[in-house]
């Protein structure tokens, strides 16, 4: 027999038990909802990556066709460079964009050598990097210092060049680290080099790349855009300024040049007596392409950037990166 005074305690116990069960049930339902949401997002992301790989395959076929269309040269005919190609997909949308990936300064060219971890400084490339920075408005002293520091970052020794920086400098930073002494795998690594501020990196980002080779990039004079004139001006520092380089690109024939001889015989260039090294850094064909892919499926969004090697046929994908490429 339950006493009158114990009935309230029993009721409180029951109410407490109900409250605890309600909290546990709500927690379980919340976890189930979260698990279901994560599973759905995971499935959507997997689907987005599958669509991204399909876009890669399509882009490789298109680039191969583009290069084989004219074995002697790559031009802007057809408006492919930077053009957005929409890709219809079920339950979402996607687009791909292909650009000439060789019209840039290859950061890895500042280190000469076959082994990616046994490189020596390349003075011409270092001077060219400084010239590029000057052509986009960076002061000469800062440009020379950053170019020298990049050379030290890539080369295999630990002896700093004049104006450069090696391990002794990086050890003194608030968060110490060591120089890579190897090729860059991504342009974002430049931010770790001495003298490279966030503002400087943002200004350089459109002009640089990190190709998986040590040689200087050969600029395709048939696909270089007028807005990219500094990339040509850097080949002939103190001889061709950016406005003159831009004007020459604006006067390019609609179908491009059929030979480099025709290009270098332009009156504005012929009178300069361009050194052979500068001539060797120009080309009529593109060997590297960059691919940008954006896919949206359900609530999942995928960004991908890829590097494509078209030096041999068929074109092949050599690197990819997911997320914001900056």
* 201 and 254, same domain (yes or no): no
CB 194 within 8 A of CB 170: yes
Does 319 fall in a domain? no
Domain boundary among 148, 178, 207: 207
* 125 and 159, same domain (yes or no): yes
Residue 323 in this model has a pLDDT that exceeds 90: no
Count of domains observed in the chain:
2
pLDDT in the model for residue 39: 57
* 223 and 258, same domain (yes or no): yes
pLDDT in the model for residue 70: 92
Q: pLDDT tens, 90-130?
A: 878 899 999 999 999 999 999 988 887 788 999 999 999 99
* 269 and 194, same domain (yes or no): no
CATH number of residue 135's parent domain: 1.10.40.60
Residue 5 in this model has a pLDDT that exceeds 70: no
Residue 200 in this model has a pLDDT that exceeds 90: yes
Give the structural domain span for 228: 218-291
Residue 198 in this model has a pLDDT that exceeds 90: yes
Does 200 fall in a domain? yes
The overall average pLDDT reported for the chain is 89
* 166 and 259, same domain (yes or no): no
* 176 and 246, same domain (yes or no): no
Q: What backbone phi and psi angles, to 5 degrees, belong to 87? A: -120, 110
* 197 and 110, same domain (yes or no): yes
Does 45 fall in a domain? no
Domain boundary among 153, 174, 207: 207
Does 95 fall in a domain? no
pLDDT range class, residue 1, cuts 50, 70, 90 = low
Domain boundary among 185, 207, 229: 207
Three-class DSSP labels, 235-269: CCCCCCCHHHHHHHHHCCCCCCCCCHHHHHCCHHH
H/E element, 152: helix 140-154
CA distance 51 to 27: 36
Residue 176 in this model has a pLDDT that exceeds 90: yes
* 119 and 181, same domain (yes or no): yes
Does 270 fall in a domain? yes
Does 231 fall in a domain? yes
Sheet holding 84-89, edge to edge: 84-89, 92-100, 288-297, 300-309, 316-322
């Amino acid at each position: 027999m339950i006493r009158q005074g114990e009935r309230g305690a029993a009721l409180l116990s029951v109410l407490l038990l109900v409250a605890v069960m309600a909290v546990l049930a709500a927690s379980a339902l919340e976890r189930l909802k979260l698990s279901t949401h994560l599973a759905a997002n995971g499935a959507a992301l997997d689907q987005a990556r599958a669509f991204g790989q399909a876009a890669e395959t399509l882009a490789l076929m298109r680039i191969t066709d583009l290069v084989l269309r004219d074995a002697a040269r790559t031009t802007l005919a057809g408006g492919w460079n930077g053009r957005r190609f929409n890709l219809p997909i079920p339950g979402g949308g996607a687009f791909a964009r292909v650009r000439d990936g060789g019209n840039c300064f290859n950061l890895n060219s500042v280190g000469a050598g076959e082994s990616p971890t046994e490189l020596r400084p390349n003075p011409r490339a270092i001077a060219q990097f400084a010239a590029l920075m000057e052509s986009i408005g960076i002061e000469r002293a800062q440009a020379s210092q950053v170019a020298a520091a990049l050379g030290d970052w890539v080369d295999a020794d630990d002896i700093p060049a004049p104006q450069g920086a090696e391990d002794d400098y990086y050890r003194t930073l608030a968060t110490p680290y060591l120089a890579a002494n190897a090729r860059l795998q991504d342009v974002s690594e430049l931010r770790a080099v001495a003298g490279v501020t966030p503002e400087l990196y943002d200004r350089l980002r459109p002009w640089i790349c990190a190709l998986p080779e040590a040689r200087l990039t050969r600029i395709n004079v048939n696909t270089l855009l007028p807005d990219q004139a500094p990339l040509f001006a850097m080949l002939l520092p103190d001889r061709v300024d950016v406005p003159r380089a831009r004007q020459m690109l604006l006067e390019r024939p609609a179908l491009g040049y059929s030979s480099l001889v025709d290009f270098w015989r332009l009156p504005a260039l012929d009178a300069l007596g361009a050194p052979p090294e500068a001539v060797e850094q120009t080309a009529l064909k593109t060997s590297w392409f960059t691919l940008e892919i954006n896919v949206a499926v359900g609530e999942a969004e995928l960004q991908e950037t890829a590097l494509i090697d078209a030096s041999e046929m068929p074109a092949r994908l050599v690197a990819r990166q997911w997320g914001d490429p900056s």
